[in-house]
Structure formats: structure tokens, C-alpha cells
Structure 1
Amino acid sequence: MVQTSFTLNNGQKIPAVGLGTWQSAPGEVEHAVEYAIKEAGYRHIDGAFCYANEGEVGQGVKASGVPRSEIFLTSKLWCTYHSKVEEGLRETLNELGTDYLDLFLIHWPVAMNPNGNDKRFPTKPDGSRDVDLSRKIEDTWKDMEKLVEKGLVKSIGISNFNIANTQRILDVATIKPVVNQFELHPWSNELKLKEFCEKNGILLQAYSPLGSTDSPILKDPEIIKLAEKYNTSVGTLLISFQVNRGVIVLPKSVTPARIASNIKLIDIAPEDVRLLESNEEKGKHWKCVSPNWGVPIF
């Protein structure tokens, strides 16, 4: 039977499937979160300051009527807050209407100017991103650890960190990252990163597990054929695939029927998990999220 939760390296339990809230339009997020928790049985909500919808996420959590203590709530430190980590967290807590997070991640391994021309996406005169090269991710991590010590967050982790950047954190960590959130799907399996993180007790979380709107993955004949074999949808196959290979998965939707179906997992045979992991060996590689930071990330 496919597992419904994982245990983090600090002993905390995390539901295997969480509702993603990225790119959810204003006016839709609150109802999506409420429905996910109240009607579909979700107990894991993944958000971020950068998504600019945490107020609605918090309202949806409250409207669900489910006690806060029963919900695993995640947010992420945005790039303009690397040098003011606690301030960034407190803005998120205020928006969400809670006094702690279950998990707080460094959203990207790059800092941006905290005093730039925009709160989220400051730019230089030439239009490029206003990156702060003086801020080291190691220093940001040490400030993240202080949040755990203060009881403001239960767990801390990273997002979009490749092997080299993850190692930089491990080299200085007193508190190890519990997860690394990354774009993961059959056309971007990150097998080397997965092996490295597992060796170091870090779980991977999959965002964009279906790709994106009009994703080529959804039209892949081999994947469609495999979904037919299991008498299920391509979406259910791809979400279940991640959990079957030991990865937490964060599908996003604001549609009630899809929200409900996304949490229904199936068992996938090991040989079919391997088949889905082998796409890149066949030359199928694609990422839907690859912003130009002006500095190496992936």
C-alpha cells in the first residue's frame, strides 16, 4: 500500500501529498484551500511569500474549521529577505494568521537586493534582476536555524538547491535541512540529486509534478499507455509516481474535482517507477521553471 506520509530527519511527520498554491489566482486560493482541507482531506498546504496570496491561504485554513495543529503548513523565505530572515518569516506568519510554521524553506539559493525598486522582484537599470552577490547562502541558513531555536518554525529546508549548493548548507549546518523542494516529473527526475539528498537524510519534494499548462509530459504516449495499464488518469499516475519513489508531491489546482483526485494515490510496480525514471536516458528532458537569475543555479 502506497504510503500517505513520510518521516523527516527530525522525526516530524509530513503528509505525502500537499496542495500547491503557486499561480493560484486571487479570489480562488481561499476556496481551494478550504475545500482541500474540509472536503478532500488534505492536511498539507504549501505556500510562499512570493506567491502573493498567503492572506487567502490563511483564510482558507481558518475557514476549513480544522484545527491548526492538524495541518502541516509550509512557506518559503523570498530572495529579498535573505539578510532579514526573521522579518520575512514574521510577514508570512502575519499574512497566514498563525504563530508558527511546520516547515520554512529558502525559496532559491540566491539573494536579491532587500532595498531595491520592488519588494519581490527588484531590477537593475538594464532590467536584469538585482541580485545581491554579497549575501552567502550559508549565512542565510544560520539565520534560518535561529527560527527553530525560537520556536517560530518546527522544521527548515531548502528549495531549488542543486547538489553543490546543498553541500554548502550541509557544511555549516547545525540543523540539517529536512527537505529540498525541486521541480520533479518524468522528464526531470534529478536522480543524482535524489541519491545525494537521500544519502544525507534529506527528502525531496516535487513541485510541478505534471509539468505545467500544456505540458508535453501529459501527451507522452508511453506515459499515457502506462496510465491506461493502471486504469487511471495521467495526473494520478504522475502524482503517485513521486510518492512511490519516496518523494513528497505538491500538485496545484483550484478546481474541486481535481483537488480531490490529486490526493488519491495508487501503487505502482517498481519496474514501472523505473520506466518513468528512465525518460531522460531516452533524451526526454524538459524543465518548466528555469528563471534567469544572472547567476548559476542548476
Structure 2
Amino acid sequence: MQQFTMNNGLTIPSIGYGVFQMSGNEVREHLPEAIQAGYRHIDTANAYFNEVAVGEAVKASGINREELFITTKLFPQSYPYEQCGIDVDASLERLGMDYVDLMLFHQPYGDYVSGWKSMEEAVKAGKVKSIGLSNFPMHKIQEILDIADIKPAVLQVEINPYWNQHELKSQLEGTGIVFEGWYPLGHGDRKLLEEPTFTELADKYGKTNMQIILRWHLQEDNVTFPKTLNAQHMRDNLDIFDFELDTDEMNAIDNLPQNPYYQVPEEPPVFVLTHNDYSQQV
């Protein structure tokens, strides 16, 4: 598994298994399959309501904790300084872990500026190894950079060949922030998956169109979480380390028309403001 180095000197696996929109029972069924296939990077969140199941599956796997990279995220209700420390501990308790490798602020709303100081304290206390942001636009990232003693190590945003985030990457050049891409395969968009460019390259390299896209991500230095409940697809998504796209092929993908699948609004949608009791997990 290829690793990327974050700006704090720690490494992060280039491919992970995400459990977004999976029930606790689905996590208990499919996360062990992913671990068996070779995944060592697991991405969850308090708002996914499956941290308990993730912790149980990790414990049952028999894999040493130090061999795994576990990410979770806090939703905006957790951001105010005092609440943030409480909710960091609550996530650790649900996961049944002494620490997580990465904790992100999940959405760019609320009191994320004061909360960042609490996240830094969690790092200093050894509860969190690295901290970062998810779905934050540049001007809100800058608010964090302006007050941070510990810079964000990771930024998780939509990235795929139809939305390559080159502009945002250029704006953050020099920060050492590692990019993670959600919707790495366009959320199953057949138009993206069947682009002639990918079909031609798949024929050339003896791979699938999806593997070509994931290889593009890898060479773009994007961490990805290609979602699947299919054990064979899990294995296929890891089978991208035995070939390399050349410069012209990467440029051809980079030149595809750009348009995001989802535009993160400036103001919080209603669901972000809804109070949730994240302890109610099964």
C-alpha cells in the first residue's frame, strides 16, 4: 500500500475503506471483508452513526491497532471549544480506542475557529495523531490557518476526474496538506465511468475503467475511499499498484470538462443544524 506523508511527518495510506451511509450491521458484515482484502485505512464519522460498529469490527479483526489508520469526524454541533473536547472523548469511547489517527471537522459551519484549539489539545494529549478539515472552502481554511498552532494535515473534499480540485490545490500549495477525495468515481456516474479515455486506457493496461480512475487519483496524490459492499470490487480497487499512467495520459484525464457533483453551500443546510445524539448507536 502506497503511503503519503502529511505535514506533521506522519504517513497516511493512499486508499481506505469508507463507511458512509452504512448501517451498523452493514459495517459488521463488510468491514471485516475489507480488512481481509488488505485495507488498513478506515474512514468513519460521528454523523455516520456507525462508530460503535467500526470499533467492534476493528477489535474482532485481530489486526494490531498500530497497523490500522482510523479516521473519524466531528459534526458542527461539536465545534465549540468546550463541547469539542467532550465529543473527541465520546468518539473514542464509541470506537473503543485510546486514539484515532485522524480527526476532521466534517462540515464548514459553526464555531470551527474556537474548536480548532480543542483539536490541537487532543493532539497534544495523544488522543488524536493528526487533525484536518472536510468540505471547507479556501476562505474558511484560511481562517483556521490564521490561528493554527497545528496546521490541518488533511483536507477531504469532492475529487474525481470531473472535479480535479487543481485550483484549490494550487491555493494550498506549500501547506503540505494531503487531499482526500470523496466521490472518487463520481458516485457511480456511468457517464464518467464510461468516458472513452478510460476505456482506451483500460484496454491498454488490462485494467477496468474504475482502476484507471483510481490510478489517476494515486498519481494525483489523492487519498481515496472507493465505496463498495462487494468483496471482489474491494480487491479490484486495491489492484492499481502494478502499472503507471504516463504524462500524456494524465494530461488527457486532467483536461476533461470540470463540474462538481455537489456544491457545498456557504450557509449550513437544515440537516447540519439538526441536533443528534451520537451515543444512540447499535
Q: Specify the alignment match of 2:14 in structure 1.
A: 16
TM-score, L = length of structure 1: 0.83
Q: How far, CA to CA, are the matches of 1:220 and 1:36 in structure 2?
A: 28
Q: Which amino acid aligns with 1:212?
A: H
Q: How far, CA to CA, are the matches of 2:22 and 2:174 in structure 1?
A: 34
On the 8 A contact 1:178/1:203 being kept in 2, the answer is: yes
The structure with more helix, counted as a fraction of residues:
2
Question: Cα distance, 1:186 vs. partner?
Answer: 0.4
Q: Specify the alignment match of 2:147 in structure 1.
A: 172
1:145 equivalent in alignment to 2:143:
no
Q: Which amino acid aligns with 2:93?
A: N
Segments of 5+ residues of structure 2 without an aligned counterpart are 270-282
1:64 equivalent in alignment to 2:61:
yes
Matched residue SS, 1:206: strand
Question: Cα distance, 1:263 vs. partner?
Answer: 1.5
Q: Which amino acid aligns with 1:239?
A: L
Q: Which amino acid aligns with 1:95?
A: R
Post-superposition Cα deviations, 1:32-56, rounded to whole Å, max 9, x if no partner, equal 221222x211111111111111111
1:261 equivalent in alignment to 2:236:
yes
1:274 equivalent in alignment to 2:247:
no
Matched residue SS, 1:17: coil
Segments of 5+ residues of structure 1 without an aligned counterpart are 112-134
Q: Which amino acid aligns with 1:192?
A: E
Post-superposition Cα deviations, 1:110-156, rounded to whole Å, max 9, x if no partner, equal 12xxxxxxxxxxxxxxxxxxxxxxx3x22121221111111110110
Q: How far, CA to CA, are the matches of 2:224 and 2:31 in structure 1?
A: 16
Q: Which amino acid aligns with 1:30?
A: R
Q: Specify the alignment match of 1:244 in structure 2.
A: 219
How many residue pairs end up in the alignment? 265
On the 8 A contact 2:197/2:252 being kept in 1, the answer is: no
On the 8 A contact 1:30/1:58 being kept in 2, the answer is: no
Question: Cα distance, 1:77 vs. partner?
Answer: 0.9
Q: Which amino acid aligns with 1:54?
A: E
Q: CA RMSD in A?
A: 1.8
Q: How far, CA to CA, are the matches of 2:218 and 2:189 in structure 1?
A: 23
On the 8 A contact 2:7/2:175 being kept in 1, the answer is: no
Q: How far, CA to CA, are the matches of 1:196 and 1:293 in structure 2?
A: 19
Post-superposition Cα deviations, 1:212-241, rounded to whole Å, max 9, x if no partner, equal 144531132333233223221121111121
Q: How far, CA to CA, are the matches of 1:175 and 1:19 in structure 2?
A: 26
Post-superposition Cα deviations, 1:63-122, rounded to whole Å, max 9, x if no partner, equal 2110111101000111211111122222211121111100001111112xxxxxxxxxxx
On the 8 A contact 2:101/2:130 being kept in 1, the answer is: yes
Q: Percent identity among equivalent residues?
A: 35
Matched residue SS, 1:252: coil
On the 8 A contact 1:17/1:44 being kept in 2, the answer is: yes
Alignment of 1:47-126 (within 5 A): 47-83=44-80, 84-111=83-110
Matched residue SS, 1:205: strand
Q: Which amino acid aligns with 1:141?
A: W
Q: Which amino acid aligns with 1:36?
A: A
Q: Which amino acid aligns with 1:294?
A: E
On the 8 A contact 1:14/1:72 being kept in 2, the answer is: yes
Q: Which amino acid aligns with 2:130?
A: S
Post-superposition Cα deviations, 1:7-52, rounded to whole Å, max 9, x if no partner, equal 1111111111111111124422122221222x21111111111111
Q: How far, CA to CA, are the matches of 1:192 and 1:293 in structure 2?
A: 18
Post-superposition Cα deviations, 1:231-273, rounded to whole Å, max 9, x if no partner, equal 2112111112111111111212221111111122242212212
Q: Specify the alignment match of 2:33 in structure 1.
A: 35
Q: Specify the alignment match of 1:294 in structure 2.
A: 267
Q: How far, CA to CA, are the matches of 1:211 and 1:85 in structure 2?
A: 32
Q: Which amino acid aligns with 2:208?
A: S
Q: Specify the alignment match of 1:123 in structure 2.
A: none
Q: Specify the alignment match of 2:41 in structure 1.
A: 44
Residues 28, 183 of structure 1: alpha-carbon distance in 2 compared, 3 angstrom cutoff: same
Of 235, 250, 253, the residue aligned with 2:210 is 235
Matched residue SS, 2:236: helix
Post-superposition Cα deviations, 1:184-234, rounded to whole Å, max 9, x if no partner, equal 000011101112233211110111100114453113233323322322112
1:201 equivalent in alignment to 2:176:
yes
Residues 290, 215 of structure 1: alpha-carbon distance in 2 compared, 3 angstrom cutoff: farther
Q: How far, CA to CA, are the matches of 1:151 and 1:233 in structure 2?
A: 41
Matched residue SS, 2:186: coil
